[in-house]
């Protein structure tokens, strides 16, 4: 699922002409503690997107519960405070 999402994001960036003009930065947060089993895959995804998407797309990883209470992550995603969430 993560791979499909990444491919979708890259495809969207390539199709939209305005996205080609400048780099897009997305904000990401996780509901789980950093560097744990539940966050490791998400963190690897972010690293891969940031390394392969230089100049096109970058993900600003805010962090986990230290940055945002876990039960507020859904609302933050819904209201646009963050763009990507690992819940």
DSSP per-residue codes, the chain? -HHHHHHHHHHHHHHSHHHHHS-EEEEEEESS-TTSHHHHHHHHHHHHHHHH-TTTEEEEEEESTTTS-GGGHHHHHHHTS-SEEE-
Summarised one tens digit per residue, pLDDT across range 21-72 is 699 999 999 999 999 999 999 999 999 999 999 999 999 999 999 999 999 9
**What's the confidence (pLDDT) of residue 49?**
96
**What's the confidence (pLDDT) of residue 19?**
47
pTM over 0.75: no
How far apart, in whole angstroms, are the C-alpha atoms of residue 87 and residue 80?
A: 16
**What's the confidence (pLDDT) of residue 45?**
97
């Amino acid at each position: 699922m993560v791979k499909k999402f990444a491919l979708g994001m890259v495809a969207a960036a390539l199709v939209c002409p305005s996205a080609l003009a400048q780099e897009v930065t997305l904000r990401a947060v996780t509901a789980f503690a950093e560097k744990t089993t539940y966050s490791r895959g998400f963190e690897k995804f972010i690293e891969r997107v940031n390394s392969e998407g230089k100049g096109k797309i970058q993900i600003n990883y805010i962090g986990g519960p230290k940055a945002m209470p876990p039960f507020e992550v859904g609302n933050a995603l819904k209201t646009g405070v963050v763009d990507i969430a690992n819940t």
